[in-house]
Amino acid sequence: MPTATTHGARAHARSQHGATAEAMPTVPATAWPNPPCEAGHLVWAETVAGGNYTHRVLARGTELRLTDVQGDACAHLLLYADTRPWERLNTADTVKVQWNAYATEGTVLLSDQGRALATLTADTSGRHDTLCGTSTLARNTSRYGDGTPHSPTPAGRELLKLAAAKNGLDPRDLPPSVSFFQGVRVTGTGALEFTGSAGPGTSVTLRTEQDVTVLLANVPHPLDPREEYTSTPLEVLAWKAAPTTPADPLWTATPETHRAYLNTAEFLTAKGRA
């Protein structure tokens, strides 16, 4: 179809209406087949291609499930308190406060204010990383020849910059991220050992404890030793639920996470959000 004229370009654009691709958002989200929640509760449904990114603002109490569809996804996640971006994911505090560098079911993702941003409520992968952050332009350029966001080998930080900009954030607002589905272990000598994926179909589910801005980049882990840039689709589903409450066993699972939940509840109560 000729696109040299405005009329031709419009006709071509409109001819794409209804076209679908393997990796794209489902709009409305409730059209997603076989949702993992009550009918009508799905608020976000998307497949993120390898080497791509996404972002969304989620309400407090939303369940967010990430799935490694084919076994080579790596979801690099950042969280910000919505409308208060200075309160954001702090991976260092998440590790040291909970005395554990290995995120799994029951781990609370903490902000630098000592409050809970999200809780991992389910994990069938067990291969995650809170230590390395995401890939950078310099590293990807050195390894693959390019790391710019629109190249075949984009770096995670470059993609997170784009996601950040679409939420009014600057590059300086990007702290170290946590990554899911590609594991890292600390050896007895203190070295970091890449353990790779647990395989296709594994997932993690997070429960948001505040209104949060979510930034996600699906790119190879920076310690992935493979010469080829290897990144497969990431499935993202989110649905309406409820935040953690004192009736949930996770509320008092450890003294440290209990304090984080109490700090969060106190803050939200002062805002009239209890």
pLDDT, averaged per 10 consecutive residues of the chain (274 residues), comes to: 81 83 90 93 98 98 98 98 96 98 97 97 98 98 97 98 98 97 97 96 98 98 97 98 97 97 97 81
Place of tokens 């995650």: 128
Write down how long the chain is. 274
pLDDT number for residue 22: 83
Alpha carbons 68 and 168: distance in angstroms, whole number: 29
Helices (H) and strands (E) in the chain, counts: 5, 14
pLDDT of residue 20: 79
- Residue ranges of alpha helices (H) inside the chain are 6-15, 91-97, 137-144, 156-165, 255-270
Residue ranges per domain, the chain?
A: 47-270
Please report the pLDDT score of residue 248 as a whole number.
97
